[in-house]
Amino acid sequence: MSMMKPFLVLALVAWVGPAAAAPGDDEVAGRVLGRIDGQEVELPMLRSDYAVEIQGDLATVTLTQVFENPYGAAMSAEYLFPLNRRAAVHSMEMEVGDELVKAVIRKKAEAEETFAKAESEGKAAALLTQHRPNMFTQRVANLMPGLPVTVRLSYVQPVPRIDGAYELVVPMVVGPRYVGVAEAPVDSEEMQVEAGGWEMAALPDYPKVVGLDLPGEIAPERVGLSLSLHAAVPVVSFASATHDLQVTEAEDGTLGAGFAGGRVIDNRDLVVRYALGGEAVSAGVMTHADARGQFLSLLIEPPLAGAVAPTPREIVFVLDTSGSMDGEPIEASKRFMASALTGLRPEDYFRIIRFSNDTGQFSDAAVPATESNRRAGLAYVRGLQAGGGTEIDNAIRTAFATRQPEGVLRIVVFLSDGYIGEEAKVLRTIRRDIGAARIYAFGVGTSVNRYLLEGMAEEGRGYARYVDPTEAAGEVAEALAADLQSPVLTDIEIDWGGLEVSEVSPARIPDLFEGRQLRVLARYEGGTGTVRVNGVSAGRRASLPVEVAPGGVAPAIPLIWARGRIADHERALAVGDGSAEAHEAAITRLGLDFALQSRFTSFVAVSEKVVNTDGPARQAQVALPQVAGVPASAYPSFSGSSAPEPQTWLGMIVLAALAVARGFLVPPRRKTAGSDDGSGVRS
């Protein structure tokens, strides 16, 4: 029998600015109060500010996090937050009172030891830990009442071109992650891979959620934004569909932007799209040299596709119907499917698979896209309901399990928020089973797991797109469904000519789609010459020559290259390609040499002064807001329940009773490092 868990109720006073009240003052602004077993506790407060500077297709970001303690005694705070999965975090500093401390990069274990020692000595300290390329924890030791701690992170990231415009994504909240209980049988080779240490690091416990433990959706508006866009050519368009922005323009053409209301709640990702004027460049090279060596960046845009006879397709639609998709997300998926099925061509075939705790199908094999079959498929989709866990791996196996029709291109279309914790297992399955198929991943939600969805698309040589179910989702879903395009340049290879190039990233060059760009980075040993980008376009061999000239100053290139190489090694770890020890050593070396946060390296900062002389600090997590568009009913299914999806109302009632008995509004108790009971959520 499960033990009863303490029941937590949150109450919140509206945020009006930094807390400066004396300990014990009941009117501290923004304090988060709770009750556990009848005893009042207080949680750490947070303010975040993003300073974003965009130069063309590169962004430099400074994230400032201010932690404050409304409690009457020392507190050690822990904050779970996201970053862009391509972000190269290269600097961190901590400010406590009048002391400014520059963080140092260390091997992860060494950084953790340094932090623990500082915490025991009563010193202020900050430790940054990466759990996934898009999921981090900031820990702050000995956060004292009336003495805020400020942590600043600096990172650079590329801004990809999507559908003819550049798209900057600033993730702001980590959604819950489902970890399955019942594992599907695996073959002996996969078991050896898992036994060899390929699994990703254990996820942290998910924090308390403001809005679920309190009536309504009340949370402090704790995030600010200062954005500037510099471009050598005119800015044709600049807008955000996720947030209202106040935009200004300087005399030199520089655009500035901030949130229209001043500050916002961090319950959805910020997405900004902008288009630049001027002639499109089909390919170009930038180089940079410093003490670490010489580096180059090759940027490729696809040639315009000519009129080509359409290739028959087998489109396999895989729909996430887990609990987190309930409400607006699944309705957006249904709108997508209605448009996609209507848009199928007579020579196409299709399948429909839905998954939650289990997997179901519209048909056991691909069916022709006749009028009657499309109507039947649409009726099947309309009858789908959301509930249960997110067992995506079995759905992937099912998608690739049938025989592909002769002479037909298989495209697997996933619609999901990606809220799972077993990303490595999913990527391994795709690498093993995909064959010649392509994967298009459509993220449905306001703060989806982009690392998983984009990783799936990259393994499947396809692309990832996103639908915000709270913002005109129907129109967006219909537009995306009508554009299930084929790549315009495939089988891409780079002929570097006489150049001495090594450690190319990405290690696997993906297909290229119209309206997008491909960036290839490498170490560069000097010289000039002609690089040729070779591939297949419209069924014919194509070759694009690019001249490389020496020189250039682009300091972001080495950081983006190193981050890309780290991503390549992380992907190899996930899919079980090569020696785990060699990949870990390579990631560690890149992290230390380029001062980059990674899975095996961490930034740590320690104050010189002792700030806590009152004994051990109380451990507390910064509460997170409920993700916009994710229903409250989804969170209990992520709280550690190992029961299978109920198939009847009686089963649902029994499961609900068990959830109440477990105190389902409170996430699982903290496990020791590296532990995993195999149930529910670990984030």
Secondary structure of 183-205 in HEC code, one letter for each residue: CCCCCHHHHHHHHCCCCCCCCCC
Answer yes or no: is pLDDT of 678 > 60. Answer: no
Q: Let me know whether 577 and 441 are in one domain.
A: no
Q: What is the DSSP letter of 562?
A: H
What share of the chain has pLDDT > 70, as a percent? 79
pLDDT at 647 over 50: no
pLDDT at 24 over 80: no
276: pLDDT strictly greater than 50: yes
Give domain status of residue 346, yes or no. yes
Helices 450-459 and 423-433 pack at an angle, to 10 degrees, of: 10
Look at residue 665 and tell me whether its pLDDT is greater than 90: no
**Nearest Cα residue to 297 out of 158, 488, 137:** 158
- Is pLDDT at 646 greater than 60 in this prediction? no
The C-alpha atoms of residue 643 and residue 315 are separated, in whole angstroms, by 33
pLDDT in tens, 518-554: 899 999 887 777 889 898 887 789 888 887 766 667 8
Name the most confidently modeled range: 195-204, 325-334, 402-411. Answer: 325-334
Residues 568 and 457 in one domain: no
Same domain flag for 393 and 521: no
CATH classification at residue 341: 3.40.50.410
- Going from the C-alpha of 578 to that of each of 133, 268, 301, 675, the distances in angstroms are 20, 37, 31, 26
Whether 399 shows a pLDDT value over 90: the answer reads yes
Range of lowest pLDDT (88-97, 153-162, 472-481): 472-481
Is the pLDDT at 2 greater than 80? The verdict is: no
Could you tell me the pLDDT band of residue 350, with boundaries at 50, 70 and 90?
very high
Q: Does position 570 have pLDDT exceeding 80, yes or no?
A: yes
The answer to whether residue 132 sits within a structural domain is: no
Do 426 and 326 have their domain in common?
Answer: yes
Tokens representing residue 206 in the block: 């998910």
State the pLDDT confidence band at 266, using cuts at 50, 70 and 90.
very high
Q: What's the residue count for the chain?
A: 683
Whether 153 maps to a domain, the answer reads: no
Mention every residue, 6+ apart, whose C-beta is less than 8 A from residue 94.
Answer: 100, 101, 103, 124, 125, 126, 149, 150, 151, 152, 605, 607
Q: Is residue 409 a part of any domain in this protein?
A: yes
Q: Which of 15-19, 480-484, 504-508, 523-527 has the lowest mean pLDDT?
A: 15-19
Q: Which residue has the higher pLDDT, 146 or 654?
A: 146
Are residues 494 and 504 in contact, defined by beta-carbon separation less than 8 angstroms?
yes
pLDDT at 643: 33
Specify if 286 maps to a domain. no
Q: Are residues 559 and 493 in the same domain?
A: yes
**Residues 580, 431: one domain?**
no
The string of DSSP codes covering 637-660 is: GGSS--PPPP-SHHHHHHHHHHHH
Predicted pLDDT of residue 21: 34
Specify which of 228-232, 239-243, 618-622 reaches the highest per-range mean pLDDT.
239-243
CA atoms within 13 A on the CB side of 423: 31
Question: How many domains does one find in the chain?
Answer: 2
This prediction's pTM: 0.84
In a domain, 221, yes or no: no
Task: Please tell me whether residues 521 and 467 are part of one structural domain.
Answer: no
> With 70 as the cut, is the pLDDT of residue 97 above it?
yes
- Domain boundary among the residues 593, 614, 644 is at 593
**147 C-beta neighbours (distance < 10 Å), count:** 15
Say whether both 356 and 462 belong to one domain: yes
- Asked if residue 199 belongs to a domain, the reply is no
Domain end residue (candidates: 481, 513, 537) = 481
Residues 6+ apart with CB under 8 A from 550: 287, 526, 527, 528
* Amino acid 309: pLDDT: 58
Q: Identify the domain containing residue 392 by its residue range.
A: 313-481
Query: Does 349 score more than 90 pLDDT?
Result: yes
Is the model's pLDDT at 626 over the cut of 90?
A: no
Rounded to the nearest integer, the mean pLDDT of the chain is 81
Whether the pLDDT of residue 325 is over 50: the answer is: yes
Most confident of 349-363, 462-476, 496-510: 349-363
Q: Would you say residue 555 lies in a domain? A: yes
d(CA 260, CA 29): 22
Do both 525 and 449 map to the same domain? no
**What pLDDT is attached to residue 468?**
87
Contact present, 90 and 156 (Cβ < 8 Å): yes
Examine the domain organization and report whether 495 and 450 are in the same domain: no
**Residue that terminates a domain, selected from 481, 502, 536:** 481
Same structural domain, 458 and 324? yes
474 shares a domain with 387:
yes
Tell me what percent of the residues of the chain surpass a pLDDT of 90. Answer: 53
